[in-house]
Structure formats: C-alpha cells, structure tokens
Amino acid sequence: MNMELQQSEFEHIRQKIYNYCGINLHEGKQALVRARVMKRIRTLGLSGFSQYLKYLEKDKSGREFLSLVDVLTTNKTSFFRESQHFDFLRNEVMPEMKGRSVKWWSAGCSTGQEPVSCAIALLEQKIYKKNVKILGTDLSRDVISIARQAVYPEKTLGGISETLRKKYFQPVEGDRYVVDKDVREMITYGRLNLQKPWPIDGPFHVIMCRNVMIYFNRETQQQLVSRFQDMLEPGGYLFLGHSESVAGANSGFQNICPAVYRKV
C-alpha cells in the first residue's frame, strides 16, 4: 500500500475542490489533505492515492466526490464563539428587532452551534420565535446531518452557562444533550455551496459568515461579500470572523465594530 501523496495528486485534488466550491488548498495544506483523504482510502479498501483518484473519476454518481468534500472541509465551531459578537447582537441588533419579523442566515453553520446560540440569545431577549426565521447552511452533508439532530456531547457545552444549559438543553443517553424544541423550531438547515446559485429568499437582517472566507482567495472573497450585500436588507448586518474583512472595493458596507459590517 502506497500512502505517499504525490505533488501531481495533490494538485489534482486541490483543483477539483477549488473548481467546485472555491476553497483554496494551498501548499501548506498538503499534510492535511493527505491525512484526511487517507480516511476515504481506508474506508473504501483501496491501495493508495493513485487508485483513489481513479475510483473518484469512475464514480459517475458523484457520491464519492461529495464524501471527499466532507472530509476536506474544516468544521471547527463552538457555542457563543467570539463572544464580542454576541454582546453586540444583544446590545445593538436585537433591540431593533422588537415587534417585527426578520430572517437570519448562518452561512457555514457547521454542526449548528452558531444558529443555536443565536436562537437562544434571541429568546433570552424576549424576541418571539414566531418573528424570527434562522437559516443554517453548510457545504458538508455530515455536519448538516448533525445540526439537524441537535444532540451534542456534554463536553461541547463549555460556552454555555449552567442557567442556559438547564433552560435550553435536555440530557439524553450517553452524556449528551438535545436542544430544546423552542430553539430547534426557529432554525431550518440545508446544504449549500456558496460558490453556486443560492436557492434562498431574502432579504436577511443578519448574515453570519464567520471563519469561512479564510479558505477562499481574495477574488472569491470579494464576490461572496458582494452577493451577501445583495441578500441583506438596507441597514442589515454582516458578521465575519475576526481575521476576515470586507475589502475596500465593497463600499456598500460600513464597518461599525471589529468584523461587523452594516449595509449602507
């Protein structure tokens, strides 16, 4: 069994992923690609990367390519991640929402912690669940499946106070917790490739796309921000990760605090 990833094989995988979803697997990602693709090779009982790429090309159903996408996409997340954003939401955004219906979008929601955190924050601010629709989307089928189940190991609840845990999470078998029904009913999940057409309806009051654009090149980032701008209502908010920013060419946004932009 040959488990060495040749440069040509890495380039082949890299190009396929970039063409499909815009993720830029640069040279420094070679070890990561090797480790993650090996999982698929072992699962399929293949002899190495060369045989895997042949298998990938022969699979006309496209199922194996989607499995490749699943293993190569990074899905690090946590509840109430980047707490300054949630402070801003509570203090500035949510007071504007009292008495009106709004849509939120968590783009790159991973296993659901971000939309669940948003739903809990809204309920805590006495914003009725019937007035808010939260959409959670991600490229990975695996993480969307987990998000829909809304069951999380106890060790992942570290960012949640004991009060909120008792209020919004119910213990189930195996040191796991299921999210309360009121929270679950506020969120709709779906698989979405940000580089393809978006079969969704706006406008949104809030779009959160945090720690996603770091995987794209500058051109793709600018295109994505422009599309988000089109999907926001006037005065709507775009939240990015703290290492991300709206490029100067996107003058339709005002930077109002770190990694938070408001549509002009």
Catalytic residue among 36, 81, 90, 165: 36
The answer to whether 158 and 127 are in contact (CB under 8 A) is no
Instruction: Given the residues 40, 70, 138, 210, select the one marked as catalytic.
Output: 138
Please list the residues that pair with 147 across neighbouring strands. Answer: none
DSSP class of residue 10?
Answer: H
Query: Nearest Cα to 232, choosing from 211, 209, 248, 256?
Result: 209
In this structure, what are the phi and psi dihedrals at residue 164, rounded to the nearest 5 degrees?
A: -70, -35
Residue 145 and residue 166 in contact, taking contact as beta carbons nearer than 8 Å: no
CA pair distance 188, 135, nearest whole angstrom:
5
**Annotation marks residue 36 as catalytic:** yes
Instruction: Give the full edge-to-edge strand order of the sheet including 151-153.
Output: 151-153, 176-179, 169-172
Indicate if 138 belongs to the active site.
yes
C-beta of residue 37 within 8 angstroms of C-beta of residue 13: yes
* Calpha distance 237→261 (Å, rounded): 6
**Rounded Cα distance, 53 and 16, in Å:** 11
Q: Is 174 left (phi over 0), alpha (psi -120 to 50) or beta?
A: left
Determine the Cα–Cα distance for residues 46 and 135; give it in Å rounded to an integer.
38
Quote the CA–CA distance of 146 and 216 in Å, as a whole number: 25
- Which amino acids are annotated catalytic? 36, 138
